């Protein structure tokens, strides 16, 4: 584990973020990638360079507003959006690639500002887009 990833885990834990730990990324494609089901997911093994994880869907409303992916594998990793969605306004289904070994990434969901009469978000009004950045 890198010093930066260790510090991130401590900070997230102190702020009440649940961590899914000791994950494995055995695949490299969007359809077979390990799903990120929690707010913080830490990978320790991978199938080599460009092993993959996939974000929860924005359309189905399963996604948290912020997701952290911690790469403690010896290889770079890529993260895909859910099918039909985007990261950083790239093409649909394109991976956010090259999260280096020992580094992390943060993903923030971005949604359209469609609010219903009761103050809730109108279903189907999401931009289906994540914004992402690597945490070195």
DSSP 73-115: SSS-EEEEPSTT-EETT-STT--EEEE-TT-EEEEEEE----B
Could you tell me the strand order of the sheet in which 96-99 lies? Answer: 34-35, 51-54, 77-80, 96-99
Question: Hey, how many other C-beta atoms are within 10 angstroms of the C-beta on 47?
Answer: 15
Can you give the pLDDT at residue 116? 55
**Burial class (CB within 10 angstroms; exposed 0-12, middle 13-18, buried 19+) of 123:** exposed
Compute mean pLDDT per 10 residues along the chain, 136 residues long, and list them.
90 92 92 94 91 90 88 96 91 91 93 58 63 93
CA distance 64 to 74: 27
DSSP 21-61: EEEEE---STTTSEE--SSEEEEEEESSTTEEEEPPPTTTT
Task: Please tell me the pTM assigned to this model.
Answer: 0.86
């Amino acid at each position: 584990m890198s010093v930066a990833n260790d510090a991130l885990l401590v900070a997230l834990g102190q702020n009440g973020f649940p961590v899914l730990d000791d994950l494995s990324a055995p695949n490299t494609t969007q359809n077979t990638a390990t799903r990120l089901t929690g707010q913080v997911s830490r990978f320790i093994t991978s199938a080599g360079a460009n092993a993959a994880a996939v974000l929860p869907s924005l359309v189905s409303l399963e996604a948290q507003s912020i997701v952290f992916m911690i790469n403690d594998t010896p290889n770079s990793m890529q993260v895909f959006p859910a099918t039909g969605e985007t990261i950083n306004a790239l093409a649909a289904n394109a991976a956010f690639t090259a999260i280096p070994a020992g580094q992390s990434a943060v993903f923030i969901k971005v949604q359209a500002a469609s609010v219903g009469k009761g103050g809730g978000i109108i279903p189907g009004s999401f931009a289906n887009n994540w914004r992402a950045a690597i945490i070195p």
